Amino acid sequence: MKTLAVYALVLGTGVMSLLSLSESKEDHTAEFPSLELSSLLELNSNELPSLPSATPHSEVRKKEYHIYFENRAEEPLEVAIRYKDYNGDWQTEGFVTLKSGEKRHMGVSDQKTYFYYAENQHKWKKRKWAGKYSFPVNEAASNKLRFVKQDIWECYDTKMCNTFAVFR
């Protein structure tokens, strides 16, 4: 009985492959107008025939990098971020309070670099995540904070990557 089932399977596979070969194939070649010259001397660079223009299938989009912050510290943190948004404008947002254990989407960029600053609220046990890049938190602020530069690792997805800044 098993042998009969194997023969039926092989025979069915062979018949299907023969049927698929006999189907007509679509031609995916482009047709261009023929160029007829009576002599090579007649060809000038200004007289070349124009080729049909290719129509774009869709607008090419840049890869999106979604930036998330996560607070794994025991106390709430005040965080700020500076990144280039998807339109190419620099955005600085802060201060945003992240409770202990909270994750938050902070921005979308087409650039692989962003900057962040974070600090806790304890006056006697102050802790800061600060770097060497100075930016004001907003346009009205006269003082500048020292932001940490962060580069996003490349992912295999061609449309978007997610990155997390984790504060412990």
pLDDT, tens digit, 9 for 90 and up, residues 29-88? 555 565 555 555 554 545 545 545 544 555 566 788 888 999 888 889 999 999 998 888
Q: What is the mean pLDDT of residues 13-18?
A: 64
Task: Enumerate the domain spans of the chain.
Answer: 64-167
pLDDT, tens digit, 9 for 90 and up, residues 156-167? 777 777 777 677
Fold of 64-167: Immunoglobulin-like (2.60.40)
Nearest to 76 by CA among 96, 50, 91: 96
